[in-house]
Amino acid sequence: MLVLGIEGTAHTCGVGIVSENEVIVNLSHMYRPEKGGIHPREAANHHAKYLPKLIREAFERSGLTPGDVDGIAFSQGPGLGPCLRTVATGARVLSLKLGVPIVGVNHCIAHLEIGRFTTGAEDPVMLYVSGGNTQIISYAANKYRVFGETLDIGIGNMLDKLAREMGIPFPGGPRIEKLALKGRKYIPLPYSVKGMDVSFSGLFTAAVNKIGKERKEDIAYSVQETAFAMLVEVTERALTHLGKDEVLLAGGVARNQRLRDMLQSMTRERGAKLFIPPDALCVDNGAMIAYLGLLMLKHGKAMKLEDTAVIQRFRTDQVDIPWNVKRHRKIYEKAPGAEAIIEMGEFYGLKSVRKIRIAKNYRIKEIDEKLRKERTRKEARILHEMKLIGIKVPIIYDIEPYEIVMEYIDGQQVSTLLNSLSDEKVKKILENIAEIAAKMHQAKIAHGDFTTGNMILQDGKIYLIDFSMAEKEADMETMAVDLHMFEESFDAAHFVHAKQLPVFYQRYRQLMGEEIIKKVEEIKGRRRYV
């Protein structure tokens, strides 16, 4: 089977032709604004101008004729509306003219599948980093699910915006990378990780405020080290959460060598593997659209023309995956977590847990030591606060700069237990979790990593653990992130019980009212999927 794919979600217009065995041709042309960022209508006009040329050139270079093509695929979303509509129109015309089936595909999944196709990765956690997208994606039960993402802007957009503030033209990311190589001093900047989510707006604002006060090279260096450390941390957290041992890097920012080096350091220390497609397949491209289209068509997913309307906010987990994704082996048992390693032992005859925040070699010393000390102190303080408000947590036995020795809770982790329980038992657990969340938020405390992986069930009672990213005197936004993080991780990890999630919100609403829940919906609405 031969499929021609057309990419056009944002600044790049791309055309690729693939077979079941290889990428035959992959061509693209990027829209580069004279000043500022991407103007959607101008980008769409660019695509309309270059798409016919790219299609002709694709056939010329491949030695194929239009009659050889068995199907047409196009990027249906997520993306900029005018750009998506332009390439969709082109795809429809080709499909009608050639008399071959058409299929619209999800741009994010296309990155993942072309990565699996060209690297040999089987069941990876994908770190997808581009202009508008920053997501942690992995396969679970017939769908690719989003386990974490940016709470505000994509990493590529952040770097491009910073470059513009420095007077550097679009695209600014590659130039920021070159400046960073000449950096000599680390400038402390906000480090914002919430579970498997990240936020770049505070980092961006702080960096802009340093322009004119610090060397541009040092600002670029500091931004990269901070932002990339955040990305690697959430990727490692996803590996731990999912028990996987493969990382696939994708998106335009995937070409950054420093990010690659940091991921390589993290995966090597875990005994995991890092997979990176060729540069031309990391960026937005037509070949990835063609290959995902080929998979969809092979599995009977051809579309009627009336079903090819573009979807600007096309969520990754909206797509059913009809092909088999082979579950890869779990990481060896003693692989470190994203935060720490856990050692079992005794403390003066009491069964105990020693939580050790080991140095992470992917982070520079200035960031690593600060995070480890701050998180250790913060966790100890918050554990004490939680006891005072009546939430069950382990008792602290001892504390050192990077270590906490605490009570061993002899129970079952809720994340490993939940999927095997009946709906009625899950409902009771969800009500209990909602009560814990409400009690915590009434005290103005946000957990920061509020997932079932940080809950232990013992004798019918839930203990909350891992408060390293918790916040005291938390504002409404931070508390809403707790709820959103719980919802997102529950949908991804406990999809068999996804219909029971309203039970959690119903009980939380009874105790806390609507205000924080409304903030959750606001967060969802402003997240950037394009």
Does position 527 have pLDDT exceeding 60, yes or no? no
Of 160, 197, 218, 449, catalytic: 449
Beta bridge partners of 138: 125, 145
Query: Is it true that 3-115+281-318 and 339-530 share their CATH fold?
Result: no
pLDDT in tens, 113-144: 999 999 999 999 999 999 888 999 999 878 89
The CA-based angle 210-156-223, given to 5 degrees, is 30
Percent of the chain residues past pLDDT 90, beyond the cut:
81
Whole-angstrom distance, CA of residue 369 vs CA of residue 371:
6
432-to-209, 382, 427 alpha-carbon distances in Å: 44, 20, 9
Residue 320: how many CB atoms within 10 A of its CB?
Answer: 9
CATH code for 339-530? 1.10.510.10
pLDDT at 528: 43
Q: Is residue 330 pLDDT above 60, yes or no?
A: no
**pTM of this structure:** 0.87
Q: Residue 137 in contact with residue 126, Cβ under 8 Å?
A: yes
Q: What pLDDT, in 10s, does the model give residues 42-98?
A: 999 999 999 999 999 999 999 999 999 999 999 999 999 999 999 999 999 999 999
Q: Reduced to 3 states, what is the DSSP secondary structure of residue 91? A: helix
How far apart are alpha carbons 163 and 160 in whole angstroms? 5
- Region 497-518: what's the mean pLDDT? 95
Structurally, what CATH architecture does the domain formed by 122-277 represent? 2-Layer Sandwich (3.30)
Distances (CA, A) of 275 to 115, 124, 263, 268: 8, 9, 10, 12
Helix (H) or strand (E) segment spanning residue 407: strand 403-407
Q: Which of the pair, 438 or 32, is modelled with greater confidence?
A: 438
Residue 328: the pLDDT is 61
What mean pLDDT, rounded, does the chain reach?
A: 92
pLDDT band, residue 241 (cuts 50/70/90): confident
**pLDDT category of residue 332 using cuts at 50, 70 and 90:** very low
- For the chain, the structural domain boundaries read 3-115+281-318, 122-277, 339-530
Which CATH code, of 3.30.420.40, 3.40.50.1820, 3.20.20.20, 3.40.50.2000, is assigned to 3-115+281-318?
3.30.420.40
Please give the average per-residue pLDDT across 143-169, as a whole number: 91
DSSP code of residue 468: T
Q: What is the mean pLDDT of residues 439-450?
A: 95
**Two structure tokens written together for 201:** 């707006």
Sheet containing 455-458: give its strands across: 412-413, 455-458, 461-464
> Position of tokens 């944002």?
10
Q: Is 320 a catalytic residue?
A: no
Name which of 178, 291, 271 is nearest 224 in CA terms. 178
Q: How confident is the model at residue 170 (pLDDT cuts 50, 70, 90)?
A: confident
